[in-house]
Each structure stands twice: as structure tokens, then as C-alpha cells.
A and B are shown apart, each in its own frame.
Chain A
Amino acid sequence: MERSAVPPESRPESSGFPNALGAFQAFGDMWARGSQAFFEGQQKWLGDLAKATFGEHKIAAQADTSGFKAAQEAYSAALNKAMSLSAALMKNFGAASGGATEAETSFLPKMFDPQAWWAAAPNLEGVARLQEGPQLADVGQVERKFAAVYSAMVTLRQRSLEHQMVMTNAWTRAANKFMTRLGTGADAAKAFSGSWRDLSSLWIQVANDELIATQRTEEYLASQRNLLKASTELRIAQQELAAFYSEMFGIPTRVEIDDVHKTLTDLRREVRALKRSKSGNEDAHG
């Protein structure tokens, strides 16, 4: 059954700007159907992963996912709110965009897409990249280490949702301010001149101000810190799992390689000191 969080009256209508609006509509539809499916999918994925990792009878004992579910629910509410607002924006853009080309406005969906803010929260990109590590393999032989990885993954997804909620709420605030300024503010005349560049510039300014203000809040900083911490802990759990297999197959572990690097750094220091000492003696003796 199709679910929609966007009320029919807020859904974008077709206009003389079919391509870009189509993209907006696609986003709207995706959000409308996607929020519930997203969370169902998340839960199914985590459930499947847990089953594959621990078997049916062990799942409940391995990780506490209640925090994750709470984060899902809170995030779902924030996202639905943003979706409604975004749909209203899309509707107005549909009326405003006649005359522009598809290529000219192809970036607009991204600019007005709340989800783009997660990707544009650059720390998330960095964290996402950092969390790449060894894949789960040889299930069943090192349950405790797998459990640690699984638990760290659940925690990371929870922290990620919590941070996305902060960003989504910021997007909603920015979108509200943007629409207020378009409707009643001093920028109305300029924005209404029919220039999509003017509209884009106004959105960038409003959104940038809101994001920068958000970044200074305790809520944002705390969610950033928690996300970073969860990402780090997952990486460490993955490395400990990898170390188990490295030892099993006689491959140097990360700890052993770090130890070699430390020794090498110490030896380089000694060599430098000896060279300088030798050079100093030669200078002293002409």
C-alpha cells in the first residue's frame, strides 16, 4: 500500500517546467513512500544481518537496538515535517520556473533536498569514508568479535540518525525562513522578479546562515561528537576482528605493524641525533 506523508493539497502540480518539477516530484514521491519503507528496510536489514551473524536464537542477546528504534521514530517525525515543507516549496517552484531549461535547474532538487544536507554536512562524508573497513566474513567462528562489530554498527546507525535529525530540523527551519522571506519579507520583490538565480542565491544565504547557527548549538556539536565516536569505535571493532584472522593466517596485525613503525620512528630519531652529533664534532674540530 502506498503511504504518503505529503498531503494532496501540498503535492506539486504539473507546470510549464516539467523536467525539473518532475525531479521534485520524484523526490516528493520518494519521501512520501520512502520514510516508512526506509525504516522498515533498515530494520529488516539489521534483522537479516543479525540472523546471519548469530542465528535466530541469539539475536536478542547480542545488541540493544532500542536506542536505534527511538532514533528512527524521532527522525521519521522530523523528516515527514521537512517533506511537507519541501513539497510546498516544490509547488511554488513549479509555478515560478517557466522558461528555464532542465540543465539550468537540474541542481535545484539537490539544493532543496533535506537529504542533501546530510551529504553536505561534510563531516558525515568524512566519517562515512572513514568507517569503511573489512567486511564481515567467516560467520560463526568469532562470535564475540562479530557481536562487537554488529553492536558498533547499530550504534553508528543510531548516531547517524540522530545527527540526520538535527540536520533535518535545521533544514526545516531554513525552509520556513526562506518561505517567509519570499512571502512577506523585503526580499519578496527581488525574489519574485522571475530569476531562478535570485531565488537560488536567497536560499543559499538563508540556508547558510541557518546551518552556521546550527553548527554552534550544543545539540549539533553533541551529535557530531557522538557520530565521530561511534565511527571510531566501529573501526576499532573491525580492526580487532581483522586481527583475529591475521593471527590465524600468520599475517601481521595492525598492532604489530604499528609497533614496527614506532621502532622505525625511534631509530630515525637516533640516526638524526647521531648525524647531528657527528656533524657538530666535525665542525668543532675544523
Chain B
Amino acid sequence: MAETSTFALDPARAFAEAKGFSERLAQGTKLFGEVKDEDVQIATTPKDEIWRQDKVTLYHYRPLAERNVQTPVLIAYGLVGRYTMVDLQEDRSLVRNLLNFGVDLYVVDWGNPNRADRYVTLEDYDTYLDECVDVIARRHGIERINLLGICEGGVLTTCYAALHPEKVRNMVLTITPIDFHADKLSDRPGHGFINVWTRSLEAEDVDRMIDAYGVLPGEFMGSVFSMMTPMRSMTKYNLDLLDVVDDRKKFLNFLRMEKWIADRPHHPGEAAKQWLKDLYQENKLVDGTFELGGRPVDLKNITCPVLNVYAKDDHIIPPATSKALASKVGSSDYSELGLPGGHVGVFVGGKAQALLGSGIADWLAKRD
């Protein structure tokens, strides 16, 4: 057994800590009593529903500034998590930042799939995305629009741009995996665990899981994400909460993030099989063998300008998995933007989210 010692104590410091803790606890208790669920709103930027099909809804955000980018932008989030991350709160909102830069903005909400959606595939989502693009194009009397894909939504966007290049004016990707095995290029501890974990499964394991549950349960993916920051889950509701509980603004920020995390939809079963087996396990997208609706997704078909944004400390989508697009895409106008922060921090972190909004708006304005 390791050598042990008895810890010496600094009475003055211990007393100061105890006093500070007691004060924070008292204030926190008061805050807990005051805050209501209605105080913890997310995705509050005004928007209007303009189209709906099955469980998919297309929204148009009301402008907040004079239009600076004429071509409208459609935001596509993934099926793991909800789009509300891009509009978490007023001062941490990619949506508001883009609107304030004069971008005309739409977002597609994939809804809340359940077991009834077991047989919905990624082909179906390509079709839904195509419907959204057509609706927006018709509203504006144009043939091509801008796409902004996020994470798995970035993969959907990439596939769409490869299969329907005539409908995409510019494509912006954020924290999007392209080469699902590129995590092997880096040995940063804790980074790319989902890639490692998924590869440790057999294809049959995934099939049986979908047979049993019909979906990739949201709680399950949540647990996998938590597994990537193991001690955080143990300290989240004590140490972390203790650090913010005496500050109303920080406390509400904490609760908003909790609200987003709790709202984790199930991933449709057949689409989950494609996501886990074809992409994470077999890495078909980067080698050109991934197919949607019988059509191969050839990344060389993407000839529109591409901005690929990655988070430098993204432990869920390691930067190398995103940057792999550079050598695969057919576009001659390809740019990368590496931002400080992690997978979620790039959207809500004070510095990164400001750079993200301005970086995307500037890039689009130059190509409008």
C-alpha cells in the first residue's frame, strides 16, 4: 500500500473556507427558493414555424438587424441532442450573434423521435433536409441556399451537399466528424472515447441493441457522454454547483445547460445503425463507400465554398476527425477555423461563441 500521512491543518484557512461556504450556501438556498422553471428558458429568440412534415419542423428567425447576407442560412443540428444549444441564452447564442450580423436564419428541428420512428433512416433525413432547402429557396426565389451543419447535422449537411450540389451556395460545418478513425492520430487523454468505444463493439451488438430498444436511447448517449468526463458526473451537483450557487447569473447559466442536457432525444434506430456501424465503425464517409438511398456520397462532389469550424479542445469530435475533410472535398475554396474550447464550449463559451458568430458571418458575407 502507498505511504500515508496525516494531513496538517491550517486552522485559519479552514475557518475561512467554512465561513465562505456557509455564506454561499445561505445565498444558494435563497436562490433555489426564488428560481422557477419559467426563469430557466432556452431557445428564446423569436421565430416562426413555416413548414412541418411528420416530426420535422422548419423555423424562420425574425431579423434583429438589417440584412447583411442576402442568401439565407439553414442550421441543421444532429439527432444526438437538440438544436436549442445554438440559442441557449441571450448572451450565449450563435443564433442571436448571426442575426445581429444581418444573417437571414432558418433552423430545422428534428423533433422527438421515439420507438415509432425506429425505421427512419439517414436517407429520410436527407429527404427532410431537401424539403427544407426547397421551402426556403421558394420563399426567396432562389435556387441555392447556405447550409450550416453542426456535429451529426454537419454530416447530414455534408452528405446533402455531395448529393445535391446544385442546391448549396456555401457550406459551413461546425464540430463535424468526417474521418471517424482519425482520432487515432492523436493520443490526447480522454479525447475520442466515443470513437474507441464504438469500435470496441461488434456490428451485431448494435443490431441487437436496436432490436431491443428500437432506438438509440437518449439516456444511453447521455451516459456515454458523461463517461468521457468521469469525475465531472460525481462533482457536478456538489462542487460545481457550489461554485455558482451564490451568483444568480451563473446559477441560471448552470440551470440552462442542465435543461439542454436533460432534453436529449432518442436517435431513430435504423439511422443509429448507419451512424454507428457505417460511419463510426466502418468509416465509410471518408473512403467514399457511404451510400444514402443507393447513391454513393462522394465528397469530391462538394464544390461550393466550405468553412470547416472545429473546437481545438473537442474531446467528443477530435479536431483531426473534422479536418480530414480538407483533402477529401472537391471545393477549391476551403477554409478552416479552429476555435478555443470544447464541443459545447465553442457555442456557449464567452470568447469562442463571439468568434464563431463573427467568423461565420464574415465568411458568408464575402461569398454572398
Contact = CB atoms under 8 A, between A and B. Distances in A.
A and B interact physically = yes
Interface of A: 84-85, 88, 91-93, 95-101, 103-104, 106-107, 110-111, 116, 120-127, 129-130, 176-177, 179-180, 182-184, 188, 191-197, 199-200, 204, 207-209, 211-213, 215-216, 221-222, 224-225, 228-229, 232-233, 235-236, 239, 258, 261-262, 264-266, 268-269, 272, 276
A199 B21 contact: no
A127 B222 CA distance: 11
B211 interface: yes
Interface in B193-219: 193, 196-197, 200-202, 205, 208-209, 211-214, 217, 219
A67 B21 CA distance: 49
B4 A179 contact: yes
Contact of A92 (B6, B118, B217): B6
Contact of B231 (A99, A127, A207, A222): A207
A213 B212 contact: no
Interface of B: 1-11, 13-15, 17-18, 21-22, 25, 53-54, 115-120, 124, 127, 131, 189-190, 193, 196-197, 200-202, 205, 208-209, 211-214, 217, 219-220, 222-227, 229-235, 238-239
24 contacts: A93-B7, A96-B7, A99-B15, A100-B18, A101-B22, A104-B17, A120-B230, A120-B234, A123-B227, A124-B223, A130-B217, A177-B2, A183-B2, A183-B3, A195-B17, A208-B229, A208-B231, A212-B193, A221-B197, A232-B208, A236-B208, A258-B214, A265-B119, A276-B131
Contacts, number: 199
Nearest to B235: A204
A159 to B, nearest CB: 13
Looking at B2, B189, B201, B219, the one whose CB has the most chain A CB atoms below 10 A away is B2
Secondary structure of the B contact surface, majority rule: helix
Contact of B230 (A97, A129, A208): A208
Contacts of B214: 258
Nearest to A238: B212
A215 B227 contact: yes
Contact of B21 (A104, A125, A235): A104
A184 B118 CA distance: 56
Contact of B18 (A84, A101, A209, A258): A101
A194 B14 contact: yes
Contacts of B2: 176-177, 179-180, 183
